Amino acid sequence: MILTKQKIDKIDIDFLINDKLGKGEINEVLIIVPTKRKIRYLTREIISFSPGNSVSGLKIETIGSFAEKLITEIEGKVNLISEEASVLLINHSFNRVRLKYFSQYKSQIPFGTLERVKNVISEYKRHGITPERLKKEAENLSGGEKLKALDIANVYDDYQSALIGNNFKETGDIYYSLNRKEKKLFNEAFNFLYPQAQFVLVNGFDEFTAPEI
């Protein structure tokens, strides 16, 4: 995917990057890739092709880091919760919620189960799926699957309240907040963070979640 302020139907990405490197104008290109690993790989590649093996103004982001910088510029500092802290909050949510499916665990939910539920909830958020939507969809299920879905939805609801109460966010929460900002605020934040950007190259993705789009 190539986003540009100019009307271009077709573009050679390698030529564009090499041209900007040769002219010392790589700061006009913002590159967005799927993972931090891809950032490291692409940074090494670009540096190896740049004159003198040095690059000034190179900007490569993941969608997550891109969104985090934008929301930070708009709202102020964002406190991303760590994996360890999120599992701890999930555990507290399990203890507060009246469980049905997970009531089989009499005293303590196993750590592995907590971690899996946390990952499921985080993935739901990345896709823009809310606890309310989960509860509604659970009505189409039956038996143990329905009970499990409702338990997860209730834990998700409580966990989200705990995140808000402790001023924490996950990546999915950043997407949610950013997608509800006025376009004017988004544009101002983008232009402040990337004032020289003329091209945005979105590279290496197999698919996008709805909030990412």
Quote the strand ranges of the chain, DSSP E.
Answer: 2-4, 29-33, 59-62, 199-202
Lookup result for tokens 């701890």: 88
Calculate the average pLDDT of the chain: 91
Q: Is the pTM of this model over 0.75?
A: yes
Q: pLDDT tens-digit profile of 19-49?
A: 888 888 889 999 999 999 999 999 888 888 7
Q: How far is CA 18 from CA 25, 30, 118, in A?
A: 10, 14, 43
* Cα angle value 17/23/29 (rounded, 5°): 40
Per-residue pLDDT tens digits for 65-95: 999 999 999 999 999 999 999 999 999 999 9
